[in-house]
Every structure is written in structure tokens, then in C-alpha cells.
Structure 1
Amino acid sequence: MFADFLRRLTAPDPLPDTDARLALAALLVRIARADNSYQSAEIAQIDRVLSRRYGFDAAAAAALRAEAETLEAEAPDTVRFTRAIKEAVPYDDRVGVIEAMWSVVLADGGRADEENALMRLAASLLGVSDPDSALARQRAAAPE
């Protein structure tokens, strides 16, 4: 199943919505795991992002995250996820992806060097400018 999904990520056609959702969820899991510390605060933040973005209830968000955790562990690189998202969503929504990623990075109260590096890479691969990424980080850091 996941090998087939990974092949679809590299196909020339845009991904269906369900695959784009899984790619986003896997990217969020990847950023949460970047510092080798996958904490409950980050998991909860991923579930909140998926719930808000897709209108999921808690169980559906957790199920998508669980599927994404497996996919992320099997995926060889970040490029495939970001390429799929870049092709599937317009620029403003990609900025929203960066904001969601920053919210996961900041969920545990800190920013590790590995997370910062992956955020720079993801923003670049998604075609999001540095100023827009910085603004997204500020929005993610603002109290709700």
C-alpha cells in the first residue's frame, strides 16, 4: 500500500485529495520527528491541524496521523511529500502548510537545529519565500 502511494507521489499527475492529505500529515509527522523526540504535545498539535484543516473529528484526525506515521517511517525523503503538496495546493495554502509545520515545531516549547533545517528545506521545496515562512512562524507562535 505505501509503496504504491510513494509511486503516486512521483507520478506526473496531481494527487487526489486523500493522497494530498496523507502527504501533508506525513510531512507534519516528519517535522515532529526531526529532533528525534516525538512528543505527545506534537502529536496533539498534528491532530488539531488535521481536524481544523479537513474538518475531521478527533478519531479521523488520529487515524490519518497514524497512517502518516507509518508512511513517514517508510518514505525515503522529504522531497516527495513537498512536491505532492506543491502541485496540489495554491501558494497561499502552501504558506498555511508552513504555518501548520511551525505549529508542530513549536508545540513542545522549543526549536531544535534539525527542525529549523527541515523547515528551511520544506519552505524552499514548497516554493514559500523566507519572509512568508517567518510570518507563518510568528502566526504559529502567537497565542490562540
Structure 2
Amino acid sequence: MFAEFLKRLTQPEPDPLDDGDARLALTALLVRVARSDGEYAKSERHQIETVVTTRFALDKQGVHELMQNAETLEHEAPDTVRFTRAIKDAVPYPERLGVIEALWSVVLADGVREQEEDALLRLIANLLGVNDVDSAQARQRVAASKS
């Protein structure tokens, strides 16, 4: 279903993503982080739905469709390195900082920071070109907003 999309995304020189494709790719990345510890908790899924509802101003039906497509894409997407690098090449830097905050909000949604989630988020931040300091500050902002 997403073969053509993935082919375009992982080309050596991908074109910038249109809004719909960017939404899908970024939501799939959120799903990948949520699934990284082997458990796709209801609280993590709910947090992803909250992020996409707010970030993309979607109605309930739009969120449902995006989540279904993102979960399928995440399953079919190549390894995290290629997938994330493709997103980096197609998404402007300021938006990538917002993605890191959204990713931390998913990691912290269930109240437990698993080693697998931390490791994957460090890798993703690096691949997106976001340094450790900016990622840590994003995590702290998200944690502060939850308290």
C-alpha cells in the first residue's frame, strides 16, 4: 500500500514532502518510538492522537485515518536509520525540533522511560540533526508540562 511512498521517501535526493505525506511520515515515526519497548500502550497511542490532533488540526475521523495509515506505514517502513534520514532530508529543521518534543511526549506518556525508548530517541534526534542539548531541553519542556 505504501510502497510508492516509501520509495519516494528513501530516494537519494527525496523531494520535500507535501503536508499530507509529512503528517503520515512523522506520525509513523511517533508510532515507531511508542512500539520500541515492545509494548504499544494505550496511553502512548492516546498521546500520539493528542499530538496529531493539535499539530495538524484534525477532526476525530482524520485522526483515526492518519493513525491507521501511520501504524501500517511504520510496520512496512525500512529500518529507523533510513526512514529517519529520509524525514530529515524532507522536513525543515524547525519542524524537526517540534518532532523531538512530540516524540518525548510519547515516550513519557506511560510514565516510564524505558531504555529502548531512550536509545531510539537519541538515535532519532541524531539522525534528524538535533543535538543532545536540544533534545534534552525538549524532554525537560515536555516533562514540565506534564507536572
Deviation at 1:81, TM superposition (A): 3.1
Aligned to 1:95: 97
Deviation at 1:41, TM superposition (A): 0.5
**CA contact 1:25–1:46 (8 Å) conserved in 2:** yes
Comparing 99-108 and 7-16, the one that deviates more = 7-16
The one-character-per-residue Cα deviations of 1:45-99 (angstroms, maximum 9, x if unpaired) are 0011111111111221121011110111111211333223322332222111000
Q: Distance in 2 between matches of 1:110 and 1:41?
A: 11
TM-score relative to the length of structure 2? 0.92
Aligned to 1:86: 88
Q: Does 2:66 align with 1:68?
A: no
Q: Distance in 2 between matches of 1:85 and 1:61?
A: 20
Q: Distance in 2 between matches of 1:22 and 1:81?
A: 12
Q: 1:28 aligns with which of 21, 26, 30?
A: 30
Q: 2:115 aligns with which of 109, 113, 116?
A: 113
TM-score relative to the length of structure 1? 0.93
Runs of 4+ in 1 over 6 A off after TM superposition: none
Structure 1: any 5+ residue segments left out of the alignment? none
Comparing 53-62 and 101-110, the one that deviates more = 53-62
The residue type equivalent to 1:85 in the other structure is I
**CA contact 1:47–1:58 (8 Å) conserved in 2:** no
Aligned to 1:3: 3
Aligned to 2:17: 15
Structure 2: any 5+ residue segments left out of the alignment? none
In angstroms, what is the RMSD of aligned CA positions? 1.3
- Count of residue pairs the alignment pairs up: 144
Q: Distance in 2 between matches of 1:143 and 1:96?
A: 15
**CA contact 2:47–2:109 (8 Å) conserved in 1:** yes
Deviation at 1:15, TM superposition (A): 2.0
Aligned to 1:51: 53
Comparing 83-92 and 62-71, the one that deviates more = 83-92
Q: 1:38 aligns with which of 20, 37, 40?
A: 40
